[in-house]
Amino acid sequence: MSTRYFGAPVARIEDPRLLTGGGRYVDDIVLPGMLHAAFLRSPVAHGRIRSIDRSAALAIPGIHAVYTMTDFAGIASGPMPPMAPHPLLQTPITCRPLTDDEVRYAGEPIAIVIADSRASAEDALAAIALDIEHLPAAADARAAAAKAAPRVHTERESNLIATMRGTHGKVDAVFASAAHRFTESFATHRGGCHGMECRGVVASVDGPSGDLTLFTSSQSPYMVRRFLSSYLGRDESGIRVVAPDVGGGFGPKANVYPEEFAVALAAIRCGRPVKWIEDRQEHFLATTQQRDQFWTLEVACDAHGRMLGVRGCCIHDNGAYAPYGLILPATALASFPGPYALQAFDIAIDVVLTNLVPTSPVRGAGRPNTAFVLERLADGVARRLGLPREEVRRRSFVRAEQMPYVTGGKMRDGSPVAYDSGDYIGALDLVLDKIDAAGFERRRGEAAKRGRLLGLGLASCVEDTGLGPFEGASVRVTPSGKVVVSTGAASQGQGHATVFAQIAADALGVAIGDVIVRSADTSAFPLGLSTIASRIAVTAGSSVEIAARKVRDKAIKVAAQLLEVAEHDLDINDGAVHVAGVRDMKVTLATIARTLSGAAGVALPKEIEPDLAATGYFETSQLAFAYGSQACEVEIDPETGDAKIIRYVVAHDCGRLINPKLVDGQIRGGVVHGIGNALFERMRHDVSGQPLTTTYGDYLLPAASEMPDIEIHHIETPSPRNPIGVKGAGEGGTIPAAAWVISAIEDALGSRAPPITMHPVSPENILEWLKTIKA
Amino acid sequence: MTARRINLRVNGRTVEAEVEVRVSLADFLRGQLGLTGTHLGCEHGVCGACTLIVDRRPVRACLMLAVQADGSNVETVESLGTREALSPLQQAFSDHHALQCGFCTPGMLMTLEAYLRDHPAPTREEIREVLSGNLCRCTGYQGIVDAALQAAQVRRAPA
């Protein structure tokens, strides 16, 4: 097998188009007769609508309609279908496309205005007279969990919707016999996704057929089709959903949203195409976020600091609905025990509704939270026992010779977790070597002379990637010799087209420039799930490999007949099947494709079906576990509390690298997202549930001027669990990042400062902690 | 709505148009001229995705009204290279994987294009400072910094 492209830092085939302004995002789509939508959203976190008077809005020139849910009664009604049903959720907790009479978070859609232009639609919002009764709101998950708390849904008896439990081993016995135990509480916070493109939808109905087409900035176009089909009571064949270029996903765009349904309903109702483009304030209000988890955990270790067990509980802020079931808390739970070979654990997560926008996974999902608490516990063990932090980890990690390692944990579907391969201690040692941990104390001393506090941070993680059951692909050679790869897997900038083209080009011996990749259009490939959970390289990548190999085998079979030679004498390269060792005895893939395209009255080659094409579904229930260690140095200015990241080194193993340049990009982007979670990004609400951070002046994203250069070292342990040996790379940068930044800050502040148990950490926090040292 | 007639140059072409006074330069370029390479990320002047060049200076097209561009020379991402012949800066972006989803990219390119014209030999730190007004959620910025430095070098000494 030739691997000219697999493993090479090939330039992206997406780039020339995107670099020249040729991207086609939802807002770039213009359809004839298209109208524009704006949403009237709840101004309060909890309320009951008394009346909506739309007469003044409808009197404004250019306003076509103001719809509430009752206006769609003849088309569809009721709550949206749940995306991920869970046995613990006996009744789904989903919203309506437009609310009925109760609103449960500030920003919940109430009505949709349809107008000639977006500006006119927004003008009309101000003219709608909304009379709303304020109801008490539950804005903090800890308070909302209490029995006396205001109900997020007035008709529900409790805001606690599920308690999830993960247990392994003889917990009580392990804790009873442990040499040391201690308890710590943590508050982890993650904000929103903040792809630079907000959400957007264009819906249109074909007049004669009534077929519905939806363009949406989604990670899950096939889920949108599936749930629209069930909600509208229409067969999938009459619904086409396309995710065109999407300007970043990072998790929340995987949800099926009320706005997608409302825009579709409005287009059906008014009979004209309708476009809605979310603005950035709406993104803060109504795109799912991740927000808060509050943990209390006890860790047990032996006399040498080897971690033996962890137990405790977590309160998870789920927001006002559970559109995505319990995926987010379930992912946090499934991330135990991380890289640690624990004899026992017992973790309970209380999932609590609040009157805030619903939560769903943001890059890393619940894994960064779990990595944060586990890494903080490991640092805590080191601190209490006076051991080097890396030594606690060396003693506690799963060792390479234990692979495959059954952790005792369970996956989200309840199946046992078994890590497939890797050397966790090796990754840790590599990163310590590369950052020159041995020379750190000297550098700390030099910084002290300049009046700066230098800290070294380290953190590790294991990440389940390649979530099954499948993402399929078809590969087809056209009569002109082009190779068309089609897949349901949607892309939001990861460079899927390039890596699929690399895989197909190698299998078929063609130039990468001859491969065309089409994706995320339900009319182009029958099935798809979602681009989530670092799963596409494993699932769709493997399916491209399988489909391309089938096409290769078929081409060789046909060529054997055409050239009258045995199949084993044939090889495939340069766009043709060649007789090995005989120059110019060849038949091109184009010729074979033309032959299999058929000609009236001409027989096909014997026992060969038409079309030089094949479909592949790599089906898997097993996960590929990526892992990594990160280390960094943070320099603190004790006068301002500013924490500046000086150096950052990553050791990462995501199996075989299809395209190292793209993997590096995934890791760097992921790390920077994690730095944002460590130092900058906090979604604030007041006590009544009003969002306070709804601009980029208030909510800080990482900027180029604050970010370090990030040094990456790859370890390539092929996964035995898929045909191309890869593991996902999309989230491994993010998962341990907040943990290491905090580890470094704690190290810089020294052992007299309190342990840091929360993030994001602000300069104000740092100054407060420095005061406690002085006092 | 009040409208006014404006005259301006856009990517070297003379444009005369009737435009509502409240329409932003970004909406005018995208909606009326079909130049959809300019993207809107926040519409409040922070993210920088809509950055383009007006009379040699980088400008947030979401914060400038179209009528304010009357008589100006406007350059958008469409004025740089073509798919077949990328500009040195665009080529450097591809070489250094300085874009993923591509949404912030036109703003990044135009910010750097304006800067590199006046600062042919920037340092790494200067590039990071110049980019501080353009947000990217995908790349972590490092590739963009590398690309800017390569482009500066190529522009100083074309091959």
* pLDDT tens per residue across all 159 residues of chain B: 799 999 999 999 999 999 999 999 999 999 999 999 999 999 999 999 999 999 999 999 999 999 999 999 999 999 999 999 999 999 999 999 999 999 999 999 999 999 999 999 999 999 999 999 999 999 999 999 999 999 999 999 876
Kindly list the residues from chain B whose CB atom is less than 8 angstroms away from the CB atom of residue A15. Answer: 93-94, 99
Nearest neighbour of B82 by CB, restricted to A20, A280, A696: A20
Is A20 in the B-facing interface, judged by CB distances under 8 Å?
Answer: yes
Quick check: A293 and A369 in contact, CB under 8 A?
yes
Domains and CATH numbers, chain B: 3-79 (3.10.20.30), 88-156 (1.10.150.120)
A and B: number of Cβ contacts within 8 A: 177
A413 or A363: which leads in pLDDT: A363
pLDDT in tens, A505-553: 999 999 999 999 999 999 999 999 999 999 999 999 999 999 999 999 9
Length of chain A: 775
Q: Quick one: how far is CA A515 from the chain centroid?
A: 27
Nearest neighbour of A23 by CB, restricted to B86, B102, B133: B102
**pLDDT (average), residues A349-370:** 97
- Alpha-carbon torsion angle A757, A761, A767, A771, nearest 10: -10
pLDDT in tens, A152-207: 999 999 999 999 999 999 999 999 999 999 999 999 999 999 999 999 999 999 98
Quick check: B46 and B38 in contact, CB under 8 A?
no
**pLDDT (average), residues A352-369:** 97
Please give the pLDDT value at position A581: 87
For residue A322, pLDDT over 80 is answered with: yes
Coil vs helix vs strand at A289 = strand
Kindly list the residues from chain A whose CB atom is less than 8 angstroms away from the CB atom of residue B22. Answer: 119
For residue A366, pLDDT over 80 is answered with: yes
Mean of the per-residue pLDDT values for chain B?
97
For residue A461, pLDDT over 70 is answered with: yes
Mean of the per-residue pLDDT values for chain A?
96
Q: Quick one: how far is CA B47 from the chain centroid?
A: 12
Give me A491's structure tokens.
């892309």
Please state, in angstroms and rounded to a whole number, the distance separating the CA atoms of residues A124 and B96.
46
Kindly give, in sequence order, each residue whose CB lies less than 8 Å from that of residue B14, ignoring residues fewer than 6 positions away.
Answer: B7, B8
Q: What are the Cα distances from residue A243, in Å, to A271, A363, A464, A488?
A: 22, 19, 26, 10
Kindly list the residues from chain B whose CB atom is less than 8 angstroms away from the CB atom of residue A493. Answer: 99-103, 138
Q: What are the Cα distances from residue B106, in Å, to A286, B53, B90, B153?
A: 27, 11, 10, 21
Quick check: A82 and A136 in contact, CB under 8 A?
no
Please give the span between the terminal C-alpha atoms of chain B, in angstroms, as a whole number. 53
pLDDT in tens, A85-122: 888 998 899 999 999 999 999 999 999 999 999 999 99
Length of chain B: 159
Distance to chain B for A62, nearest Cα, Å: 11
Nearest neighbour of A669 by CB, restricted to B39, B42, B139: B139
Residue corresponding to tokens 């966790």: A424
B84: left (phi over 0), alpha (psi -120 to 50) or beta: alpha
Nearest neighbour of B139 by CB, restricted to A22, A668, A709: A668
For residue A1, pLDDT over 60 is answered with: no
Q: Do B138 and A493 touch (CB under 8 A)?
A: yes
Distance to chain B for A704, nearest Cα, Å: 5
User: Residue A774 — pLDDT band, cuts 50, 70, 90?
Assistant: confident
Is A195 in the B-facing interface, judged by CB distances under 8 Å?
Answer: yes
Coil vs helix vs strand at A644 = strand
CATH 3.30.365.10, chain A: domain bounds: 15-22+468-619, 292-466+621-774
Kindly list the residues from chain A whose CB atom is less than 8 angstroms away from the CB atom of residue B23. Answer: 119
Nearest neighbour of B80 by CB, restricted to A20, A493, A661: A20
Kindly list the residues from chain B whose CB atom is less than 8 angstroms away from the CB atom of residue A662. Answer: 97
Q: Can you name the CATH fold of A15-22+468-619?
A: Aldehyde Oxidoreductase; domain 4 (3.30.365)
Closest chain A residue by Cα to residue B104: A196
CATH architecture of the domain covering A31-135+194-286: Alpha-Beta Complex (3.90)
Nearest neighbour of B102 by CB, restricted to A194, A198, A493: A493
Kindly list the residues from chain A whose CB atom is less than 8 angstroms away from the CB atom of residue B110. Answer: none
Distance to chain A for B98, nearest Cα, Å: 8
CATH 3.90.1170.50, chain A: domain bounds: 31-135+194-286
**pLDDT (average), residues A64-92:** 94
Please tell me the number of Cα atoms within 13 Å of A550 on its side-chain side: 19
**pLDDT (average), residues A347-353:** 98
Distance to chain B for A146, nearest Cα, Å: 37
Please give the pLDDT value at position A2: 58
Please state, in angstroms and rounded to a whole number, the distance separating the CA atoms of residues A79 and A86.
17
Q: Do B41 and A196 touch (CB under 8 A)?
A: yes
Distance to chain A for B157, nearest Cα, Å: 22
CATH architecture of the domain covering A292-466+621-774: 2-Layer Sandwich (3.30)
Kindly list the residues from chain A whose CB atom is less than 8 angstroms away from the CB atom of residue B41. Answer: 196-198, 247, 280
Which DSSP state fits A245? B
Residue corresponding to tokens 């030099």: A446
The residues in A 705-764 lying below 8 A from B, measured between CB atoms, are 705-707, 709-710
Please state, in angstroms and rounded to a whole number, the distance separating the CA atoms of residues A707 and A545.
37
Is A633 in the B-facing interface, judged by CB distances under 8 Å?
Answer: no
Please give the pLDDT value at position B10: 98
Kindly give, in sequence order, each residue whose CB lies less than 8 Å from that of residue A771, ignoring residues fewer than 6 positions away.
Answer: none
